[in-house]
Amino acid sequence: MHEQESSDSLVAADFFELRLYVAGQTTKSVTAFANLKKVCEEHLAGKYKIEVIDLLVHPQLAKGDQIVAIPTLVRRLPEPIRKIIGDLSNTERVLVGLQLRPSLPPEDGE
């Protein structure tokens, strides 16, 4: 699975449509947005759009993108949809999630 992913996991797209799901102005949400902004500016300058959705304001939107964890970054374009959950503090992993870098071994839990 890993070999397969690393061979086709890189995307070359003209435009990245990103959605960041948050629930209120929590530390995690604010950190995630800041981290995302930084990664996009460095790697996707001029070809991205970030839409922030606050589920406390629009709870009905959580179902559509199958949101469970907060914060969740959803790459809506290019397809297929990819999700990155967490405060996006690990830039390498964000790049892997967006398929701008080959995949890495999983991050340690607990």
Partner 1 sequence: MTEICNASSVAMPALPKCPTGIEGLDEVTRGGLPRGRSTLVCGSPGCGKTLLAAEFLVRGATEYGEPGVLMAFEETADELAANVRSLGFDVKELIDQKMLAVDYVYVERSEIEETGEYDLEGLFVRLGYAIDSLQAKRVVLDTIEVLFAGLSNAGILRAEIRRLFRWLKEKGVTAVITGERGNASLTRHGLEEYVSDCVILLDHRVTEQVSTRRLRIVKYRGSAHGTNEFPFVIDNDGLSVIPITSVGLEHPVSDERVSTGIPALDAMVGGKGVFRGSSVLISGSAGTGKTSIAGFFAASACGRGERALMFSFEEAPSQIVRNLRSIGLDLDGWIKQDMLRICSTRPSRYGLETHLGLIHKQVRDFRPQVVIVDPISNFISVGTQSEAGTMLVRLIDFLKAENITSLFTHLTHGGVGLQQTDEGISSIIDTWLLLRDTETDGERQANLSILKSRGMAHSKSIRSFRLSDNGIELS
- Beta carbons within 10 angstroms of residue 2's beta carbon: 11
Residue 46 or 109: which CB sits closer to partner 1? Answer: 109
Residue 38 or 46: which CB sits closer to partner 1? Answer: 38
Amino acid at 8: D
In the complex, which residues of this chain contact partner 1 (CB under 8 A)? 1, 21, 23, 28, 31-32, 35, 55-56, 59-60, 62-63, 66-72, 80-90, 93-94, 96-97, 106-107, 109-110
The sign of the dihedral angle between the CA atoms of 25, 27, 30, 32 is: negative
Residue 46 or 83: which CB sits closer to partner 1? Answer: 83
Q: Cβ of residue 50: shortest distance to partner 1, in angstroms? A: 16
Q: Cβ of residue 7: shortest distance to partner 1, in angstroms? A: 15
Distance CA 94, CA 99 (A): 8
**Ramachandran angles phi, psi of 85, nearest 5°:** -110, 155
Q: Cβ of residue 17: shortest distance to partner 1, in angstroms? A: 17
**24 token code pair:** 């209120």
